[in-house]
Each structure stands twice: as structure tokens, then as C-alpha cells.
Structure 1
């Protein structure tokens, strides 16, 4: 009787072991399916995040947003965020319920120029981005950076974006000096070399537009055209598409580029689709 019981228990153990082995592939398949669903999910909310250049703050794009809303006939919300040097955030404005394409402007308490501070601003931007994600539950966005703001966004996308799980859909840089204010075309700054070295970390689905202004033949009065055009060495063959545009005319000065009518038109058709 005892022998029969052990035999029966052994048989049951064998059957249970076989069932477990058969179940393991299903568990792996379900785990892979859940991971794929999470990876493919796109939140309804997809903000346009803007970063101003050095010496500008979170109010820099008030006029631009007002003009875009007027021309588009849609009142997109405007949330302004200031990142303090201790990493805390101060916000003004709000995101209206049901507005899935709000504008969010991220500025910095320390908005000074210089490569070291641009690197710090990129880290401060990451703090703001993670806080915004947690508050508003979005996992996709588009972005626009004027001047050094484009550098901040590029550094973020190379170094910190992947860890957030968010999908960057479009990036527009306006008068962004990828080689800083270097006028000698034979010189490559350390920041430019870093951006090139880390370009493979850029999101592959990203669509990029780089816009240069030419007040003179050489640049927009502050940033050399060659510095803006070096964006191609960072983005080409790394992202889904890269488009380079040059605008001229009376509003092609560096500081006035965000309000340039040609650029506003490009923003409407390429960034706010």
C-alpha cells in the first residue's frame, strides 16, 4: 500500500512537472506581450515642450504661444515651469482638461550661457520632465528649443530620455549653435564632439527640423550658420528624418527667430500636426 502511494505521488509529481514546463512558455509569451503593449502605448496627452536660450526665462514664448493660438484658432494651454538651482520647480499657468496638445515652457533660474551651465540645464530639464510626466501622465511629446535650448533638448534626448520611457515625436531647433559660437569652421568644440559621440542614443523614431537664420551671409548676428548646420553630423542617419531650413529677411536676427513668420508657419505645419 505504501509502495502504491509513493508511486502514485511520483506520477502526480511528474504530471505537475510536465504541466509546469508547458506553462512556462505561456508565461514568457504573456510577459513579452505586456511589454510590447506598454512599449506601443501612446498617451492621449502629447505636449509641446519649449526651452528658451540663455538669459531668457519661462516667459520667453508668451507672445509666440499667443500668436500660434490666434493663427490656429485653438486655445492651447500654456504651463510655465522654472527649475530652481536646487532642483525644485515653480509653475505658473495650467493645462486645461481636454487639451491634449498644451504648450509647456521650461526655463531655468540660472540661465547663464556657457558649456558647463548648458550641461547643468540639461540635468535640470530632466528633473522637470520627470515631474511633468508624473503629474500629467504622458509618454509622448514634441519639443522646440531656441538657441541653447536646442542643445539642452539634444543632451536630454541623448542621455536621459530613454530612462523616462517617453517617446519623442518631433524636435525643432531654432538658431541652435551645435558648435557653440565658434566661427572657425576648422574647430570642433568639446560640446559638439560629445553630441556627435553620443548621437546613437537619439530616439530612432524622432523627426528633426533644424532652422538657421541668416541676417548676414555668415549667421544670424550671434550664431554662425556653420554652427547651426553642424546639426546634420548629429542627427542625420540617427533619427527617422532630418530637415535643415535657412530663413532670411528682417526677422532673421537671432533673438527674433521664434517670432519670424516663416518659422511660425513651419511650427504650425511641422511641429503642431
Structure 2
């Protein structure tokens, strides 16, 4: 009986050690999670994470990170993370993929962006992150911020890169070449419905928190556009966020590679992203 008692005490002791170890590992994961600052890439209308591959691979080649995972967003907004953050690689890339990639319901797309942020928060315990958008991916970012910029329970946005953003219209739909004018503050002379909604950013965008890089293309054909979006539409972001952003910078890309869908394949854009988001690479 005494031997059985000793064996039972040993089993309980080992069991207790195992429970403490599991708890410690859980706390350790979340403690390290606070060090991770992932960069989320959002693709454009009708596209997929493949449009983000060129930029992501350029970052890896430059040594900015060695980690690329994917956030697959189902049509109902549910998020599945593919891959894992690597230990010690604290600036990973998250390629976001929308299954419903032809949705123009911007508030819904913004909610899907939030679902990705929340998934990363729940799995890794992140406290901060960056966002990169191309074309309609910028609407996912801005509508996410419109609804969540003041939510302190969520991880906080640190850096935002907007590429070929159509904040106040798209050529051939609700804009025409050289029609839109911006005043000295960057406000368009005519506001499209989506832009009117985004005007709320002037009240809720985080003060002195986010550094913004706004990249747009000019093909040099006289349209002052990238072929799909006028420069004025892209530059209209300034009026929405510049007065509250920690910093705001615009960069115009010119030439044939400044065409709308070629901007995410442009080496000059790659270098701008790397210098802005991975300055030590």
C-alpha cells in the first residue's frame, strides 16, 4: 500500500508539472506575440493573394522577413490561417485572400478585414500591425478603420500603405480623366457616395499613431491616371487622414509600369514598401 501511495503521489506530481508547463507555454506564446508586428496585404477587385506574391517575395529577398502566411477569408467572412509565424521573425507577412473577390460592398469588406485582424489577435496575441492595399484592397483598409479606428481592444495600426487607391471614384464608372479637382487641402470638388462615407475618417482616424504612404501611378499619357484610377482620386486620401496621421507621404510612379495592375509588380514600389515597412532590410 505504501508503494502504491508513493506511485500515486509521483503521478500527481508529474501531472501537476505538465499542467504548469502547458500554462507557461501558453503565456510565453502570447508574450512573444506582442513582439510580432505583421504586415497584412489586401488584393484588389477580382484578384487574389497571387497579386501580392511579387511584393511579398521582394521583401523576403531583401531580408525583411522569412515568414509569409495566408489568411483565407471565406464568402461568409470566416478566416482560416495557413502557415505559422516563425520564432524570432517578428515582421511577418500575411497575404489576405477574399473568396468573394468581386464584392463592392465596402462595409462588408471592411468587416472581413477586421476578422483577419481578430484571428491574428486570438492566435498570436498581436498588439500592433501594418496594412498594405492595392486598388479595392484600400477600401477594405479604410472601411475597417472607419468602423474600428477607435477600438482600443483591437491591435493598433502602425503603418499603412495605399497603392492605386480609388477613394473617390474609378475611371469609366464615376470619374473621367482630368475631371476631378482637389482644393488646397486635398478635398475633391465632387464627392462620390463612398467618399462621403469615408469622410468620417476625419473624426475617427487615430491621432499621431499611423504613418501613411500613398502610392499612385501616372502612365504619362495625358490622363493623369494609372489607366483605371485618376491621380486625383488616389490623392484624395490626403483630405481624409493627413491631418490626423503621424506622417503622410505621397509618391507618384511614372512610365509603363505605372499602369494600375502593374503597380503591384513594380520594383520601385517594392523598394518603397521595403524602406517604409522593413527599414532595416
Return the match for 1:248 from 239, 243, 254: 254
CA contact (8 A) 1:158 1:199 kept: no
Task: State how far apart, in whole Å, the 1-side matches of 2:142 and 2:237 are.
Answer: 10
Deviation string for 1:193-217 (max 9, x for gaps)?
A: 1111332211121111111101133
SS in 1 for 2:34: coil
Size of the alignment, in residue pairs? 229
Return the match for 1:172 from 149, 152, 161: 161
Task: State how far apart, in whole Å, the 1-side matches of 2:107 and 2:271 are.
Answer: 31
> Unpaired runs of 5+ in structure 2?
1-32, 181-188
The 1:75–1:169 alpha-carbon spacing in structure 2 relative to 1, beyond 3 Å, is closer
SS in 1 for 2:229: coil
TM-score normalized by the length of structure 1: 0.79
TM-score normalized by the length of structure 2: 0.77
Task: State how far apart, in whole Å, the 2-side matches of 1:159 and 1:125 are.
Answer: 11
1:34-49 to structure 2, matched below 5 A, reads: 43-49=34-40
Task: State how far apart, in whole Å, the 1-side matches of 2:204 and 2:158 are.
Answer: 15
Task: State how far apart, in whole Å, the 2-side matches of 1:53 and 1:74 are.
Answer: 24
SS in 2 for 1:162: coil
The 1:136–1:169 alpha-carbon spacing in structure 2 relative to 1, beyond 3 Å, is same
Task: State how far apart, in whole Å, the 2-side matches of 1:106 and 1:199 are.
Answer: 27
Return the match for 2:136 from 148, 165, 175: 148
Higher relative contact order (CA 8 A, sep 6+): 2
CA contact (8 A) 1:59 1:80 kept: no
Return the match for 2:115 from 114, 127, 140: 127
Return the match for 2:79 from 68, 89, 96: 89
Return the match for 2:235 from 219, 229, 247: 229
Q: Which has the larger radius of gyration?
A: 1
How far off its partner does 1:47 sit? 0.5
1:55 is matched with which residue? 46
How far off its partner does 1:175 sit? 0.4
How far off its partner does 1:59 sit? 2.9
CA contact (8 A) 1:158 1:202 kept: yes
Task: State how far apart, in whole Å, the 2-side matches of 1:210 and 1:54 are.
Answer: 19
CA contact (8 A) 1:82 1:90 kept: yes
CA contact (8 A) 1:142 1:168 kept: yes
> Unpaired runs of 5+ in structure 1?
1-41
How far off its partner does 1:146 sit? 0.6
Task: State how far apart, in whole Å, the 2-side matches of 1:86 and 1:61 are.
Answer: 22
2:30 is matched with which residue? none
Return the match for 1:195 from 185, 198, 202: 198
Task: State how far apart, in whole Å, the 2-side matches of 1:80 and 1:60 are.
Answer: 13
